[in-house]
Amino acid sequence: MTATFPLAEIWRGEFLESVHLGHAVICDGAGEIVDAWGNPEEIVLPRSSSKMLQGIPLITSGAADAAGLSTEHLALACASHQGAAIHTDRVSAWLDDLGLGESDMRCGPQMPDDLPAKTDLIKTDKSPCQIHNNCSGKHAGFLTLSKHLGAGPEYIAPEHAVQKACLDAFEQATQLTSPGFGIDGCSAPNHASSLHGIARAMGFFSSAHTRSDTFSTAAARLTEAMALHPELVAGETRACTELMRAMGGRTAIKTGAEAFYVAILPEQQLGIALKVADGTTRGAECAIAALLVRAGVLDANHPATLKRMNAPITNWRGTLTGYIRPAASLVA
């Protein structure tokens, strides 16, 4: 990565011990850069933060309405959930409604991060399945679209109609031709763009409610679904859920693996994208919280904010040893 910029800092007592470097961009509803740190043109893989873009064809194709999908379904299509019952029960029912099953998925099994769900599997000596995968909602959306299109079962193949539709939506929203893709943790292609392109897409989402074309309407519906159901987008104790709750449904935010984060601010018509270069979650969560406070949508003193921004660091005895703080330029 080039020209990285300090986004979050670890302080131990009076000493700056570590710095999380990266890039961040804020765009307005027209896609123009309002603020930037680091290199806006850095080519990045947005990972799971691009699920909203991958969800657009589910709506524009007519598949969502034909399948009678609710806002809960749309939130799950954008989710990186933790495999709690509220997630897996809904995905299972969704597959049943499609006349499909867990074996039709291509995301792979994953042990749930939700402690009760994980404990139950261990106690009953059961193995996790693909419905526990944090991307199972997205894959249920892929299956819904594939069935609607009459396409084949290997919906994660880059040449499949589902993935071609996702790429078209991705490039339309970012207004850039993707230079390529990597294979995500759930086995689907994850297309690259510049950080500016991802922030531009989030800016597009933030102003989508002001337009009535099919593409914009789909973006607005996905944003609304995420804001309505923050518990489905991630889960209890997770930053996406807790911070969206703290903002009272005014925004939609989404993390991606390797310290990526995006935010959609419909009231301000702003979109945010950031990437911490070292891939560390704590740095990304601190930085996104700071930018949300900066934008005026998140209370700096809300408990959910204080868990991530200016959060205390303690040792094994519970002694306060320092703090994780946003870089000064993010809060100025």
Residue 123 vs residues 115, 127, 130, 315: alpha-carbon distances, Å: 12, 11, 19, 31
Phi, psi of 160 (to 5 degrees): -70, 150
Q: Are 130 and 108 in contact (CB under 8 A)?
A: yes
Contact 99, 76 (CB under 8 A): no
Element (DSSP H or E) covering residue 7: strand 5-12
Quick check: is 114 in a domain? no
Helix (H) and strand (E) counts in the chain: 14, 12
Output the pTM of the full model: 0.97
Q: Which domain holds residue 326?
A: 5-81+179-331
| Position 147 in a domain | no
| pLDDT confidence of residue 5 | 95
The tokens for 98 are 């499609």
Q: Which amino acid does the sequence have at 46? A: P
Euclidean distance between CA atoms 257 and 239, whole angstroms: 13
Per the structure block, which two tokens stand in for 88?
Answer: 């897996």
* Residue 217 located in a structural domain: yes
The answer to whether the CB of 51 falls within 8 A of the CB of 190 is no
Domain contains 111: no
Residues in the chain: 332
**Does residue 184 belong to any structural domain of this protein?**
yes
Residue 318's alpha-carbon distances to 217, 238, 291, 312, 322, in angstroms, are 49, 22, 29, 10, 12
**292 found inside a domain:** yes
Encode the chain (332 residues) as per-residue pLDDT tens digits: 578 999 999 999 999 999 999 999 999 999 999 999 999 999 999 999 999 999 999 999 999 999 999 999 999 999 999 999 999 999 999 999 999 999 999 999 999 999 999 999 999 999 999 999 999 999 999 999 999 999 999 999 999 999 999 999 999 999 999 999 999 999 999 999 999 999 999 999 999 999 999 999 999 999 999 999 999 999 999 999 999 999 999 999 999 999 999 999 999 999 999 999 999 999 999 999 999 999 999 999 999 999 999 999 999 999 999 999 999 999 87
Residue 165: alpha-carbon gap to chain centroid: 19
DSSP letter for 309, please: S
d(CA 50, CA 260): 10
DSSP code per residue over 48-114: GGGHHHHHHHHHHTSHHHHTT--HHHHHHHT------HHHHHHHHHHHHHHT--GGG--S-----SS
What is each CA distance from 160 to 100, 143, 147, 156, 216, in whole angstroms? 19, 12, 12, 7, 24
Burial 210-236 (b: 16+ CB within 10 A, else e): eeeeebbbbbbbbbbbbbbbbbbbbbe
Is residue 103, in this structure, part of any structural domain at all? no
Taking each helix axis from N to C terminus, what angle separates 51-60 and 214-228, rounded to the nearest 10 degrees?
120
pLDDT of 293 reads 98
For the chain, the domain total comes to 1
CATH number of domain containing 185: 3.40.710
Establish if 189 belongs to a structural domain: yes
